[in-house]
Structure 1
Amino acid sequence: MNTELKENRNRLFIASCLALVVTSLTFALRAKIEFVFGADYGLTKEEVGRAFGPAFWGFTLAMFVGGLIIDLVKTKTVIWFAFAMHLIGLITLILARDYTMLFLANVFIGLGNGSVEAACNPLVATIFPDQKTRMLNRFHVWFPGGIVIGGLLAWILMDNLNLSWQLLTGLLFIPLALYGFLFFKQRIPETERVMSGVSYKEMLRNVSAPYTIIATVLLMILIAAGWIDFDLSSNTTLVALGVIVILVFIEGKAINKMSLLLPFMVFCMFLTASTELGTNQWINALLERSGINPMIILVVITGLMAVGRFFAGPLVHRLNPTGVLLGSAIISLGGLYALSVSEGALMTMSSAIIFAIGVCYFWPTMLGFVAEYVPDSGALGLAIMGGAGMVATSLVLPIMGESIDTAGPQMTLRYMTVLPAILVVLFIGLLIYMRRKKAE
């Protein structure tokens, strides 16, 4: 790494963190205004879930496209696209009063958020090549960190001072302006893949089954956006999953002759992201009768996540990424089940703390695992992982909304325990596989 890059990498890292703060503040904002758009503007929880969907599948689309073209258009271009989408999205959200405007606002915000991840994940991995998992955890401190800030602001401004949600939304322009200023006229390096001389074709090959994975996620986006009518509870879903598995095996093993480690991690990302983000986005509706303000619970959950991620280095070093993921799945399973049976403020808060510890390391450790063990997949590998997590969340949100309307909050939480239960089994298998690979 040259001297100039070493000197400005702290500024680039801070700018990246502020961009992620804007992303996370939009998550906190949605967790608060889902109630407003239901009570004041007459939307059902399923409609709110669908209107929020673009924030996730738009995120996915931006990450995938960004991961594919970032080395062609340069990282700086993707960053400024993120800035523009954030600006347009926030203005549209302030003007929103119905389903259509809320939907459009989340399209722009989702594209902005996804572009931040598409650009900043490989940027952090590039400027800290010997500390990838540690610094990606440090970077992703500001996802829960921003939600803490947003949750506290929502509680103070809306719950205590009775100010409008539009004022709360307007505060997001502050970190937006700051990250724009810090990135302005800065030299931003090529991605690690380009700097290490790995070709574009080799990057695609190291994804193992890039075309099948991308086609699958695009199909999920179309379903999440409502452009394809697909019953996720039908037998057709199982048939589709079987076909996808076969195609991944054919493309990855028979054609590219590569390990299926990255496709396996993509599938796990579907479940880890849905467990974390699906629950957090519906926190108001899920815990409104808990005896404690749901936004306070959200602040506690995300605050613990921020602290945990900041001090993730020693834990990752001691347990390695696979051990961290397995432990996270076990604890998040216990936390979700405890939330589903909790009664009263004390028990609910205790259960929420367990859940927070469980989901704390999911997102950054999944990215760190791919950056460390499949490094030649480059920015595309990281983009696929982040995009997969977001599109899965966009599918689970309306399902959770319908379940809350029909089965109630506690049963919905009980249903969600299925996801970390599956992850426990998958991560035990991954732990065995990685130990055998290391021994070989």
Structure 2
Amino acid sequence: MSIPIENSIAGTQVAKPVNASRLFVASCLALLVTSLTFALRAKIEGVFHDSYGLTREEIGWAFGPAFWGFAVATFLGGAIIDQVKTRNVLRIAFVCHLVGLVVLLFAKDKTLLFAANVFIGFANGSVEAACNPLVTTLFPDDKTKMLNRFHVWFPGGIVVGGILSWLLVSQLNLPWQALAMVLFVPLALYGWLFFGETVPETERVTSGVSYRDMFRNTGAPCTIIALVGFMILATSVPIAIDFGATSTWVVLALVLVAIVVESLVVNKTSLLFPFMVFCMFLTASTELGTNQFTGALLDKTGIDPLIVLVVVTGIMALGRYFAGPLVHRLSTVGVLLVSAIISAIGLYLYSTAGGTGATLFAAIVFAVGVCYFWPTMLGFVSEYLSKTGALGLSVLGGAGMVGTSFVLPIMGHSIDTAGPQQTLRFMTVLPVILIVAFALLALYLKNRRGAGTH
């Protein structure tokens, strides 16, 4: 599939095709590298705990940059992608992936592990910042469907990583570094595929939405960026946050007031995008936080955590590939609401599972629940808040990752002190909140359609 675009050469306008199929495959390979880094971390989490002597809390801290680095890259990429061009953001992703993986190969303490995850996180975020708007530009009539197909390669990559981990480390008894070396193969492939192709302008540019309007339509960009910045600070330089303290809730209330004022008074737009950012904190933490600590959470259930991870991510990959009919039947918000309900049930079953069969069943339910969260959240913003452009998609993706980086040390501390089952019960609260949030969102959209707006 090729898309003709206009390019100026020697003062004349000539048609230069964009190879949509090749760009989509390259995007999928870039996301595959991203997901393989998640699978790799899930494997080495036990190595750094058992062999290198790190506590779960220290590991959570060292893993944090993989998430907040992602957030920094997506926020920055979304803001400047139209100035520096998508192809250059992809080049940054390639270089940072390369540097991060090389540093990781030599990591044996929390400092080098932290540094490696800074580069890897920034690379992963650059992939998300560039590829999400690229996919919506390439397939403007099938945004949610193709975003789901693109994001097949996140859980799909974890399945591939899980199988490779079992084969190379568990069966062939190779060191974990052998697994890390495998990532250089798809890295080289996506670099080759991208760098030989013409990458089109983003949808925001082609549709004529101004740069200023893109920022304005995110509602409260200044407050959101400040909030995310604080969360990054709290995870990279541990700050004691007591959720039982009155001062914490006062600060949260002030943040909410600032978002309302900036959205409704300053930018004179709705609170819909900030609301979706809040939901993304929870959806991403439910999915990624749980999967990142699979080994520790299921350590005493009698089943290999790697099997559970492969089952969960395999179901997610299949579900995302065939998401199109489900989205058309239930609507985007309907999919999110049903996902929240099933996720809550799955996490509760996880927390009560005592044997192999019960754990596998809980894993299947959980996988079905979290399957559509990430791409459908992006699809919602692309469909209902299209004027937010690449920035909207990037801010949403970044919020998801920084929310996860925020919750990981909390989860690690809870596993160390309260145990896996109590931690899973704590995590169940997140999708329960989402059930209420998505029900309210469905009601809001129904009323808005009744008023004749979209």
Shorter-normalised TM range: over 0.9
Distance 2:59 2:18 in 1: 45
How many residues were matched structurally?
A: 440
TM-score if structure 1 supplies the norm length?
A: 0.98
The answer to whether the aligner puts 1:16 opposite 2:18 as a matched pair is no
Separation in structure 2 between the aligned mates of residue 7 and residue 57 of structure 1, nearest angstrom: 33
2:421 to 410, 427, 439: 410
Match of 1:280 among 285, 291, 295: 291
2:247 is matched with: 236
The amino acid of 1:127's aligned partner reads L
Q: Report whether the alignment pairs 1:119 with 2:144.
A: no
Residue 436 of structure 1: aligned partner:
447
Find the residue that maps to 1:343 and give its secondary structure: coil
Name which of 171, 181, 199 aligns with 1:160: 171
TM-score (norm 2): 0.95
CA contact (8 A) 1:339 1:352 kept: yes
CA contact (8 A) 1:5 1:189 kept: no
Conserved 8 A contact 1:24-1:146: yes
Larger displacement relative to structure 2 (233-242 or 417-426): 233-242
SS in 2 for 1:42: coil
Letter in 1 for 2:173: N
8 Å CA contact retained: 2:67, 2:121: yes
Residues 213-362 of structure 1 mapped to structure 2, 5 A cutoff: 213-226=224-237, 228-362=239-373
Choose which of 140, 143, 155 in structure 2 pairs with 1:129: 140
1:417 is paired with a residue of what secondary structure? helix
Compute the displacement of 1:409 (Å). 0.5
1:99 deviates by 0.8
Q: 1:211 to 1:7 in 2, by over 3 A?
A: closer
Tell me which residue corresponds to 2:9: none
Q: Which runs of 5+ in 2 are unaligned?
A: 6-14
CA contact (8 A) 1:340 1:410 kept: yes
CA contact (8 A) 2:87 2:195 kept: no
Task: Summarize deviations over 1:254-283 as a string: whole Å, max 9, x none.
Answer: 111101100000000000000000000000
1:79-118 matches, cutoff 5 A: 79-118=90-129
- The whole-number CA distance in structure 2 between the counterparts of 1:402 and 1:140 is 30
Q: In 2, are the aligned partners of 1:157 and 1:168 still within 8 Å (CA)? A: yes
Give the aligned residue type for 1:86. H
Letter in 2 for 1:162: N
- Which runs of at least 4 in structure 1 moved beyond 6 Å after TM superposition? 3-6
- Does the aligned pair in 2 maintain the 1:286–1:410 contact within 8 Å? yes
**In structure 2, which of residues 63, 79, 86 is the aligned counterpart of residue 68 of structure 1?**
79
Of 51, 55, 62 in structure 1, the residue corresponding to residue 66 of structure 2 is 55
Question: Structure 1 residue 2 and structure 2 residue 4: aligned?
Answer: yes
What amino acid does structure 1 have at the position aligned with 2:409? Answer: P
Letter in 1 for 2:223: T
CA 1:70–1:232: 2 relative to 1, 3 Å: farther
Q: CA deviation at 1:155?
A: 1.4
Deviations 1:307-349 (A, max 9, x none): 0000000000011010000000000000000000001101100
Write the distance in 2 (CA, Å) between the matches of 1:91 and 1:200.
37
Query: Which residue number in structure 2 is paired with residue 390 of structure 1?
Result: 401
Structure 1 equivalent of residue 10 of structure 2: none
Matches of 2:163 and 2:97, distance apart in 1:
21
Look up the equivalent residue of 1:131 and give its one-letter code.
D
Q: Is 2:371 the counterpart of 1:369?
A: no
| CA-to-aligned-CA distance 1:91-140 (integer Å, 9 cap, x gap) | 00001011110000000000000000000000001111111100000000
Partners of 1:312 and 1:6 lie apart in 2 by 29
Alignment partners' CA distance in 1, 2:247 and 2:398: 24
Give the corresponding residue for 1:186. 197
The 1:152/1:437 distance shift into structure 2, 3 A limit, reads: same
Q: Give the root-mean-square deviation of aligned CA atoms.
A: 1.2
Partner Cα distance (1:163, 1:235) in 2: 51
Q: What amino acid maps onto 1:223 in structure 2?
A: A
Contact 1:140 1:309 in 2 (8 A): yes
Whole-angstrom CA distance in 1 between matches of 2:114 and 2:181 = 18
Distance apart, 1:292 and its partner CA: 1.3
Q: Partner letter of residue 413 of structure 2?
A: E
| 8 Å Cα contact 2:18-2:199 kept in structure 1 | no
Are the aligned partners of 2:313 and 2:367 in contact in 1 as well (CA < 8 Å)?
yes
SS at structure 1 position matched to 2:331: helix
For the residues of structure 1 that align with 2:321 and 2:286, how far apart are their CA atoms? 21
Report what 1:37 is aligned to. Answer: 48
Matched residues in 2 for 1:5 and 1:149: separation? 36
- Superposition deviation, residue 237 in structure 1: 2.5
The 2-side partners of 1:58 and 1:307 are apart by: 28
Q: Which amino acid aligns with 1:307?
A: L
Task: Give the AA of the match of 2:187.
Answer: L
**C-alpha distance in 1, partners of 2:378/2:423?**
28
Q: Assess if the C-alpha contact under 8 Å between 2:378 and 2:393 holds in 1.
A: yes
